[in-house]
Amino acid sequence: MNPAHVSAPHTDFADLRRLHAQAVRDSETLVQQVTPDDLSRPTPCSAWTLADLLAHMTAQHHGFAAAARGEGRELAHWAVRPLGTDPVGEYTAAAEKVIAAFATVEGPDQAFALPEFSAGRTFRAARAIGFHLIDYVVHSWDVARTLGLAYTPAPELLRAALPIARAVPDDDARLAPGSAFRPGLTAGEDADALEQILTALGRSPQWRGPERGADSHDAGRR
């Protein structure tokens, strides 16, 4: 995502961190249901397999955690690496790492260096955490749809996420290779908050992967 012009919603900083942790832990709940046979499955993320998506999600956790520690300019923290022998365990560890790192942030104005998004500028912590929150609402849905699982985020989380999704620039950057989001789609008149988030960021709520043959479990609602 290119968040240079995205504003975080008007959410108290403590609430923003709490909701961010909820979004990330929702993703953990879903990823923990991934099996080795699932890693080659297609995802809503264009040409990415589930293995590609998990590698990206894991790398972003490491990068944002480094940014919270003041080390975000070091590109090695953002590197996408091939999955190891325990991709679920690696993902969970990275997810908890970024939650813990965000908990140490002194306040909403702390500077985050996010070199994947801008080489020369920094972002306020509140904005950076908002960027990461919206990524993991959407990527949780990506994983859920890939696995044929239900994903029902808490209404409070969706209320915080929707303004961020609407503020992401819908420009040519979404057409770049590897972009996490695609050009926006039109939401139906009766679209709920999650569907509005998804369509704003180029996801079709109707996307379905091939049948997996597993029971669905509901992840997200607290």
Residue 100's CATH number: 1.20.120.450
**What pLDDT is attached to residue 16?**
97
Q: Is residue 67 part of a domain?
A: yes
CB neighbourhood size of 170 (10 A): 14
**What pLDDT is attached to residue 216?**
44
Question: What is the reported pTM?
Answer: 0.88
Q: Is residue 35 part of a domain?
A: yes
Q: Is residue 119 part of a domain?
A: yes
- Kindly indicate the confidence band of residue 220, based on its pLDDT and cuts at 50, 70 and 90: low
Determine the Cα–Cα distance for residues 193 and 213; give it in Å rounded to an integer. Answer: 28
Q: Is residue 104 part of a domain?
A: yes
Contact present, 197 and 189 (Cβ < 8 Å): no
Instruction: Give the pLDDT mean for 160-167.
Output: 94
Instruction: Give the pLDDT mean for 132-144.
Output: 97
In DSSP notation, 100-129 reads HHHHT---TT-EEE-TTT-SS-EEEHHHHH
Any idea which residue has 């104005």 for tokens? 109
Q: Is residue 70 part of a domain?
A: yes
Determine the Cα–Cα distance for residues 121 and 8; give it in Å rounded to an integer. Answer: 17
| Residue 61 in this model has a pLDDT that exceeds 70 | yes
| Residue 55 in this model has a pLDDT that exceeds 80 | yes
Read off the DSSP letter of residue 39. Answer: T
Provide the residue type at 92 as one letter.
T
* Length of the chain, in residues: 222
Top-confidence residue, 222 or 90? 90
Q: Is residue 222 part of a domain?
A: no
Contact present, 42 and 209 (Cβ < 8 Å): yes
Any idea which residue has 């996408």 for tokens? 80
Of 133, 97, 102, the residue nearest 1 (C-alpha): 133
Contact present, 174 and 183 (Cβ < 8 Å): yes
Sign of the Cα torsion 150, 155, 157, 162 reads positive
| pLDDT tens digits along 68-126 | 999 999 999 999 999 999 999 999 999 999 999 999 999 999 999 999 888 889 999 99
CA triplet 22, 83, 45: central angle to 5 degrees?
60
Read off the DSSP letter of residue 172. Answer: G
Instruction: Give the pLDDT mean for 155-182.
Output: 83
What SS3 class is residue 130? helix
Any idea which residue has 């397999």 for tokens? 49
What SS3 class is residue 10? coil
What range does the domain containing 114 cover?
Answer: 13-153
**What pLDDT is attached to residue 167?**
87
Percent of the chain with pLDDT over 90: 74
Q: Is residue 31 part of a domain?
A: yes
**What pLDDT is attached to residue 218?**
53
Lowest-pLDDT range of 57-61, 160-164, 177-181, 208-212: 177-181
Rg of the chain over Cα atoms, rounded to whole angstroms, equals 16
| pLDDT tens digits along 5-54 | 444 445 699 999 999 999 999 999 999 999 999 999 999 987 899 999 99
Domain count, the chain: 1
Q: Is residue 190 part of a domain?
A: no
**What pLDDT is attached to residue 6?**
47
